[in-house]
Amino acid sequence: MERKVLIIDDDEESLRLYGDILRRAGYSPKTAGTGWEGIDLAVKEQPGLILLDLRLPDITGLTVLETLHTALSTKAIPIIVVSALSNDDNVMKAMQMGAFDYVVKPITYDDLVRRVELVFFSRERQGEGERAPVLVIEDSTADGSSLSEQLVGWGYTVKWVRTGTEGIEQASSGNYDVVLLDGLLPDINGFDVVKQIRSTERLGITPIIMLTVLSGLVDKLKGFESGVDVFLNKPVSWEELRVRMRSLTHLRGMSKQRFQLSEVVSVITNAIELAETTEPRHNQKVASIGVILGKRLGVLGHGLWILEMAGALHDVGKLAIDHRILTKPGKLDAAEWAEVVRHSEFGERIIKPVHGFAEIAEIVRHHHEKIDGSGYPDNLRGDEVSMYVRIVGVADSYEALTSDRPYRPAFARDEALGILRKETEEGRWDPVVIAALTESLDELEHL
Ligand SMILES: [Fe+2]
Ligand SMILES: [Fe+2]
């Protein structure tokens, strides 16, 4: 799926900032400065998501929302509304009109990326998310029963307990997609309940919402430290709770899916390792180097995960190459070389059928491309070589140079860097990625 995001905002600074953040997280942002321009672009570009500022110079954000939601070609596009005010009535109106989520300015990197990722993730798994099991820890009978009633009405399965002790016991089973707790419980302080839940969790990914009448900043900070994901003030706004529940169950689903996929990928990496004894831990190391370089270059969230998976799988196609050729100590002849080259395409074919791995499969296909066009299999050049491919390519090359091979011993790190720098002057590598590598050398020592 194309990860196109349309940003409608009249503030140029915001357009630039959000565009930049999204690009780094692996999305392709399109921008519009007015409401009409935004509607136009939405129809033309069919983005996977729209970020809509509620205050626009020509028509209001709510009008844009309404127009997009009534037009046949744009009505299914999820919209996240952006507001500059923390208590904006228009936000709640937008939510009632069907906006997917909202954010309040100033938007942080993590927050924006996480919300955008949730939209794309939940689109890929339409229909799921609700019916999820929720644990409610609330001592007040009135609050507990009205909460449970609402949640059941939205399709969740609810388990309601009244004390912190029972809550911790239930939560430790790991069977809940979201935990909702009152900050003031009769037996244990809410923050301590959260801390204990976090300490018993296996994956540490259960989203926790704390309902509180305390709204002081200090309390919130204490709460975030203990592991609360979202605070909601009592009395609870049902509209807001519903939105938060929806995104948190998706978040839980996303973390779980990524965790499971990563486990499967490490099984495959182990298999490559066993079959291909000449390059110990090569794939794992390329994955780690790719992530380190990506972070230095400002890649975020999903983008880092992509780099990790692509690195871990980049040479999976070697499983389909004759083992005698791969382990041959001397130089390869032309026919043997032609065989080895095919590992990129084999790799792509092995991975491509996995749901959600199309982008990773493409990086695997291209991990031997160079920006001067001298690589394979498609002789891509310049901009055709994506940032991810550039990063994985450098990670792969550096790891290979600094490891023993059947046909030569390992180069020292300075020698390896010297070789890569010379090749960069010849136009093969991206100087920006090589600079990131140079800055990361110490970190790479410990892999
Ligand atoms: Fe390779
Ligand atoms: Fe490799």
- Over residues 217-245, the mean pLDDT reads 77
Share of the chain above pLDDT 90, in %: 50
Range of the domain at 145: 133-251
Query: What per-residue confidence (pLDDT) applies to 96?
Result: 80
Residues 235 and 370 in one domain: no
Q: Which ligand is nearest to the CA of 340?
A: 1
The residue among 92, 124, 156 that closes a domain is 124
- Over residues 209-215, the mean pLDDT reads 79
Residues 301 and 422 in one domain: yes
Tokens, residue 74:
């744009």
Query: What per-residue confidence (pLDDT) applies to 317?
Result: 94
Residues 329 and 364 in one domain: yes
- Over residues 356-381, the mean pLDDT reads 94
CATH code of the domain covering residue 293? 1.10.3210.10
pLDDT tens track for 156-181: 889 999 999 999 999 988 788 899 99
Is position 215 within any domain? yes
Reported as a pLDDT band with limits 50, 70 and 90, residue 202 is low
Residues 206 and 300 in one domain: no
In the block, residue with structure tokens 């291209």: 366
Query: What per-residue confidence (pLDDT) applies to 203?
Result: 58
Query: What per-residue confidence (pLDDT) applies to 126?
Result: 46
Model-level pTM? 0.68
How close is the Cα of 428 to the center of ligand 1, in Å? 16
How close is the Cα of 74 to the center of ligand 1, in Å? 42
Q: Angle 61-70/89-96 helices, nearest 10 degrees?
A: 0
Residues 330 and 214 in one domain: no
Highest mean pLDDT among 25-29, 119-123, 370-374, 408-412: 370-374
Is position 211 within any domain? yes
Reported as a pLDDT band with limits 50, 70 and 90, residue 386 is very high
Residues 317/347, Cβ–Cβ less than 8 Å: yes
Is position 334 within any domain? yes
Highest mean pLDDT among 94-108, 272-286, 385-399: 385-399
DSSP designation for 196: H
How close is the Cα of 400 to the center of ligand 2, in Å? 7
Is position 291 within any domain? yes
Residues 100 and 150 in one domain: no
DSSP designation for 315: T
Give the count of domains, the chain.
3
Reported as a pLDDT band with limits 50, 70 and 90, residue 254 is confident
Residues 112 and 175 in one domain: no
CATH code of the domain covering residue 103? 3.40.50.2300
Query: What per-residue confidence (pLDDT) applies to 124?
Result: 58
- Over residues 339-367, the mean pLDDT reads 92
Bond into 106 cis (ω within 30): yes
In the block, residue with structure tokens 């600074």: 13
Residue 216 neighbours by CB distance under 10 Å: 9
How close is the Cα of 337 to the center of ligand 2, in Å? 15
Residues 154 and 103 in one domain: no
Residues 44 and 141 in one domain: no
Tokens, residue 106:
């100033």
The residue among 124, 157, 181 that closes a domain is 124
How close is the Cα of 315 to the center of ligand 2, in Å? 5
Coil, strand, or helix at residue 210?
Answer: strand
Is position 260 within any domain? no
pLDDT tens track for 45-89: 999 899 999 999 999 999 999 999 888 888 888 899 998 887 778
Q: Which ligand is nearest to the CA of 283?
A: 2
The residue among 102, 124, 146 that closes a domain is 124
Is position 265 within any domain? no
How close is the Cα of 283 to the center of ligand 1, in Å? 9
Is position 385 within any domain? yes
Long-range contacts of 148-156 (CB under 8 A, 24+ apart): 150/238, 150/241, 150/242, 151/180, 151/245, 154/130, 154/242, 154/245, 155/130, 155/131, 156/130, 156/131, 156/132, 156/245
Helix, strand and coil content of the chain, in percent to the nearest 5, comes to 55, 10, 35
Residues 428 and 304 in one domain: yes
How close is the Cα of 9 to the center of ligand 2, in Å? 43
Query: What per-residue confidence (pLDDT) applies to 127?
Result: 47
Q: Which ligand is nearest to the CA of 344?
A: 1
Reported as a pLDDT band with limits 50, 70 and 90, residue 129 is very low
Residues 28 and 87 in one domain: yes
How close is the Cα of 165 to the center of ligand 2, in Å? 51
Is position 113 within any domain? yes
Residues 52 and 187 in one domain: no
Average pLDDT value over all residues in the chain: 87
Of 342, 341, 339, 364, nearest in space to 351 by CA: 364
Reported as a pLDDT band with limits 50, 70 and 90, residue 1 is very low
Distance CA 68, CA 47 (A): 12
